[in-house]
Structures are given as C-alpha cells and as structure tokens.
Amino acid sequence: MTGKESFLSGGTFCSVFCNTTSTDFSPEDYEEPLRSLSNLGISGDRGCLKCQILYQACIQLHPALEEDASFVLVRLEEHYQMVRLVLGDAKEDRRVIGNQEVHLHYLYNTSPPDWIILYPYRTPSASRKTGFRAVLSEWLKDCDENHSACKRGNTVLPTRVINVGKKSAEGYDPFLHISSGEEGQYAALSHCWGKTTFLKTMKSNVAKHQSSIPFTALPINFQHAIIVCRAINIQYIWIDSLCILQDDGPDWEIEASRMASIYQNASVVLFASNAADCQGGLWSKKWDKSVAQSDEIVDFDYINRDGHSSKIIARKSPSHDTLIPGPYLEYEAPSALSTRAWAFQEQLLPQRSIFFTGKELLWKCRSGQKCECMQEDYEYQNINDLDKDFWERAHSDDAIERFGGWRSLLSIYSRKDITYDSDRLPAISGLAKYMQARGTGIYLAGVWKDDLLESLIWLPRPVWPDVREDNMVSTYRKRTPTYRAPTWSWTSLETHQGGQVKPKCPGIQDWVENHWRLSVPHAKLVEASCEPVGVDPTGAIKSGYITLKTRCVEGLVVWENRRTPIVCGTVTIIGVHWDIDLDIRRQLKVLCALVGTGSGFAYIAIVLQPSRTVKGAFERVGLVQTVPELAEKAEVDLFDDVPETTVKVV
C-alpha cells in the first residue's frame, strides 16, 4: 500500500516534539513521553499534522494493531539517522514491550521537511537489472574522488581473468584471458556454488575458454556479475571456478594460495549475498515488485511552512544483517553467503565490496559503508563491526592485539559451513597470509607459534548431549575421517554433521571459544612444526606436532553420576571439557599437562591420551579449567611440587 495523502501546514502542534523544527532541534537522541495509538489518532483529528502522519504510518504498516491497547514511543536517534516509532503494549510509563517499529525519513533528492530532523531515504529500484547502475556509479565515483584510504589504481592481474566483453551487448560472449603479468583493474565475485552442476574451467576446455565462453552457458550468478562489470566499466572479473583449473590439483593449490592478494587487489568485489547457489543470481524475480509499492513502505506529501512540498517516507524496521558479519549472524536470518566458510575471508580482505542482498544494495569500503536505502550510511570511524575490528587489530603495533584479533576471527570462522572438512585451513589461508605479512610469525595449523600457549585454550561446543546409562557414550565432536590437523589445533575436529543444516541454537554451534587469557604461563614451547601438503605453508597440512616442557599428572577417566571426571590418585578433577566422544565403558588413562593459570582459574591444562599413530607421543582429548571457588583445595594444588617433564603432542 502507498499513502498519497497531503498534509497542509498551519495546524495546531500538540507537544514539544511536534513543535520542534529542523532548525532548532538539538542533534542528540530524543524520546517523547509514551502515548497510546488511539490518542495519537485523536490528536491528529484535532489538527496536529505531525500526529496525523505518525498515526497513519502506524495503522497502515501495522493494520493488526489494536488502537486502544497499543502504545507508541517516539524516538529520534541521531546515530541511526532516523525517527523511530516503537509499537507495543505499555507495561509502565516510557516503556514499550514489543518489537514492531516504524521508521520515518524523507525521500532522497527531494526537499527535507522543516519539521524535526528527518534523514534521507532512497527507494530501492524496482528493476535491479537496470536500477543498480545509478547507485553503483554514485558510490564508485564518491569513493574514487574522496576516499584516499581506498584509492586503487592498476594492479597486476591474477593469472587468469574473464574478459567481460563489450559494455553495450549483453549477448557478447566473454572469454578467459591469460594475464601474463600485465596490469589493469578487475572485479571479483563471491558466491555460493551450491550442489547444481555448472560450467567450470578444466584442463580439457581451458583452450576453448580462451577463445569464447558462451554467455548463455554460464550460471546466472556469473551472467549477472558480467552485466554489472560492463555497466560500471570494469573490463575483467575473477571468478574462482572459471579462473582456476578445477581438475588440476597443483594449479588449484597455487591459485588458492593467492586468494588474499586476489581479493585485496580487486577494484571491487561483488557478493551474491542472497543466492543459495550459482543459479540464484545477484538479483531475482523479487525485484519485479517495487519495494516502494509493497506493504513495507508508505509515503506522505507534506506541505512546509514556506509552501514547498516534502515527501515523508514511513517503513517497517528493515534488516541489514549482511553488513554485520558478527558472531550472532547464525541466529538472525543471515544471507546464504554469510554462512559459508570460503566467503568469510572474501568479505574481510577487499578494499571495496558491493553486496546484492534480497532487498537492496549494500556498499563497504575502507572509508565507510552505505546501503541503498541510506539508513546504514556511516563514516569509517562510526562503524562497529567485524571488518573494522579485524583491520584495526591486524595493523596494531601490539602483538597481543594482533593475536587476540586472530583468535576472535577463529571464534566466528569455526561456525561457518563448509562442504569439505579438508578445506577448513585453505579457506582461511588468505587471512593467515595477510596477518603474517604484518608480523605474526610462523603459522601452525590455524594458530601462531608465538601465540601457541594461548591458542591451546579452546573448547568445542558439543552436539546435543546424548549420555545414556546403557552405553555410557557422550556425544561430542569427532576427529575428521582423514587427517586435517594435529589434535592440539582447533581445526582437528569435524565441523559439519553429515551435510545437514545445523540447528539455529547457540548451545550446539560448531565454534571455538578462545577468549581466556593466561595470567601466568607454566608450560614452555620447546619445539613446533607442521608439514604442508603442498607448497602453501598456510594451506592444508599432512602432519604436525608440538613439544612442551611442563608439569604433568596422570589420571583415570571414570563414569560417575552421569559425569566423566578425571581421578588423579586421591584427587578428582571435575572441570573437564572433552573434545571428542570417549568410550567410557572402561577406565581410560590420561595425562593432564599444565598450560598455566588464567583469569578466574586456578589452572588450565590440556588432557592427553597416548597417540594411536606416533609412538611415544600424545593426542589431545580435552581441556581442564579448575575454578578455585568450586574445587577442593587438593584439586587446586594438584600441580604443586610436580617436576617438569617433556611431552610431545601430535
């Protein structure tokens, strides 16, 4: 529905808020006293022009509201650049219980109203296929001319790129271009492959692709990306499945190891955020229906005191989750692309990114972010998200900040979905190279040698516990079927369950909690090494170990009242967190190796079992954290007076 009602000036204004104009309003958050929806309507009927608009916006966007039982809280929020109406049931004065909202703006490229501080709103185009051109051209021009932090001239092209062909002819076939070290500007595409079969570059067709790649044979994601590049005058685009030989292992490894530079050096990266697979497209048939004519937006013509007209836009609360790649995305209806492990580094590395979401275009660069509707237009210093946190901590002069930033990344990355467990390290190798170039040192199976003791303190979230008296088997993670990493690394565990979608519950996510700091480290790292599968030291590995010098205590794992504590002589350790399933129908011998003391913990130790593959070595199976207030004194003092020994963990 679309409101087309005109409201003339000169009426009676009912309150401080309604009497306020944009020239005398203090630019700070402001909150009106709570008012019932019915009283808002009565005030409008009596001549308050602003109340008429507020009332009509509420009932048109939320027609199911009961006027007598619903209340409205009017807030002006400077940071979010809008007037927010919060609707719900009133439980006490100035408090609304409810999650329905209406946001007020004025239409972009029209005159702002003289009433209050309304911020501009741009209606997303009804036709994404043509409508993106004006918006992207505006954003690119602004960034090119005004953002010194984002300036990107010609750069060395990737080994292979797609020449998108002529701007004027959508049917013009693109072709694979071998760059041979030449310079230029190129875009890159980030998208979900999905399970459908689609055209890829193989050893058998690479020569043919250098001549021509039929445009109509390409999946929709690729077609749309090429259309965008032609429209914004970028001659080349890098698409992984077309620019890497998919059946050539050495070529794949070499090109995959260059991911960091490919995404960093791209003039812009296009994200097919709403496409679940390669056929989803950067835009879809949904765009045939204008957002401006949906039931989510209404508009009002408002006549100002000086006689000129303004158009006020009211809309339901929008979602901009794609711009917030943080730890809670998995529980807040994320885009299809934001859940994928491979896309994680693709979102963090680029200088400039354009997200094609289900409702609008989003832009990010090193100087700020923008969205098509303009609500999320912020300068860089006002952004608070993972991208900014990563860049600032990666460039910090403080090693503790850099390592802490990496562990924060892992806590999010380890939740992401991945088709093949063997890709878990390669899919983050670009970020590892970026960090390594900034002084983090030697990289070992997802962690840093100079931060290794801190990086031993991780916990996997278990699957739903399934502990039964009859089989005494607890349900935790499992080791990957084929070797992926040494057991002391967070990436040694399976991170998907048979390809099934994980439940949206924070208690059972595949993620690493790595937020504890060692107050006093007691272990010493004697030696550490990892052997890569190929030439990339930050990619997949085939073996690895660490040697620690520390205090170790032997113990037995027992079944006790549906728990699995460790008994060390007369001392029982209850603060045990297991990494994997344990067959506890028999007593298991383990070794507790002290790592150090941490904030709130008497000690932190890793739990080890004799290795099944390397004689004389051990494998990690769990972590112990002893809280002084919850433990007996004998447990707290367990490692006192124990001599140091050397232990090898594989």
**pLDDT confidence of residue 292:** 42
Residue that terminates a domain, selected from 59, 88, 121: 121
Residue 497 located in a structural domain? yes
Range of the domain at 67: 6-121
* Sequence-separated (6 or more) residues with CB below 8 Å from residue 360: 124, 291, 371, 372, 373
**Predicted TM-score (pTM) above 0.75:** yes
Are residue 159 and residue 267 in the same domain, yes or no? yes
DSSP state of 111: P
What is the count of structural domains for the chain?
Answer: 3
What distance in Å separates the CA atoms of residue 552 and residue 236, rounded to the nearest whole number? 58
Residue 311 located in a structural domain? no
Contact 291, 267 (CB under 8 A): no
Residue that terminates a domain, selected from 394, 414, 433: 394
Distance of CA 4 to the CA centre of its chain: 39
Which parts of 393-523 are beta strand (E)? 443-444, 447-448, 459-460, 512-513, 518-521
Contact 553, 542 (CB under 8 A): no
Are residue 188 and residue 226 in the same domain, yes or no? yes
Residue 216 located in a structural domain? yes
**pLDDT confidence of residue 475:** 56
Are residue 614 and residue 486 in the same domain, yes or no? yes
Are residue 540 and residue 628 in the same domain, yes or no? yes
Which parts of 153-307 are beta strand (E)? 155-156, 160-163, 175-178, 183-184, 186-190, 236-238, 268-271, 297-303
Are residue 390 and residue 421 in the same domain, yes or no? no
Residue 129 located in a structural domain? no
Contact 381, 367 (CB under 8 A): no
Helix, strand, coil shares, percent, the chain, to 5: 25, 30, 45
Are residue 386 and residue 404 in the same domain, yes or no? no
| Helix 399-413 with 341-348: angle, nearest 10 deg | 140
Residue that terminates a domain, selected from 86, 121, 156: 121
Q: Given the structure tokens 């979401």, which residue do they identify?
A: 357
**pLDDT confidence of residue 99:** 63
What distance in Å separates the CA atoms of residue 386 and residue 463, rounded to the nearest whole number? 27
Are residue 445 and residue 567 in the same domain, yes or no? yes
Are residue 390 and residue 405 in the same domain, yes or no? no
Are residue 195 and residue 87 in the same domain, yes or no? no
Percent of the chain predicted with pLDDT > 90: 35
Residue 291 located in a structural domain? no
Q: What is the CA radius of gyration of the chain?
A: 29
**pLDDT confidence of residue 357:** 83
Three-class secondary structure assignment of 498-566: CCECCCCCHHHCCCEECCCCEEEECCEEEEEEEEECCCCCCCCEEEEEEEEEEEEEEEEECCECCECCE
What distance in Å separates the CA atoms of residue 73 and residue 94, rounded to the nearest whole number? 7
Are residue 435 and residue 468 in the same domain, yes or no? yes
Residue 307 located in a structural domain? no
* Sequence-separated (6 or more) residues with CB below 8 Å from residue 315: 61, 102, 103, 105, 121, 296, 297, 298
Are residue 276 and residue 408 in the same domain, yes or no? no
CA dihedral 163, 164, 166, 169 (to 10 degrees): 150
Residue 382 located in a structural domain? yes
Give every residue of the chain whose pLDDT is below 50, as ranges: 1-4, 8-10, 16, 24-25, 27, 93-94, 288-293, 322-333, 464-474, 497-515
**pLDDT confidence of residue 464:** 47
What distance in Å separates the CA atoms of residue 197 and residue 317, rounded to the nearest whole number? 38
**pLDDT confidence of residue 456:** 93
What distance in Å separates the CA atoms of residue 313 and residue 304, rounded to the nearest whole number? 15
**pLDDT confidence of residue 480:** 79
Residue 276 located in a structural domain? yes
User: What are the CA-CA distances from residue 375 to residues 65, 78, 111, 121 (Å)?
Assistant: 25, 11, 18, 7
Are residue 383 and residue 426 in the same domain, yes or no? no
**Taking the CB of residue 35, how many other CB atoms lie within 10 A of it?**
20
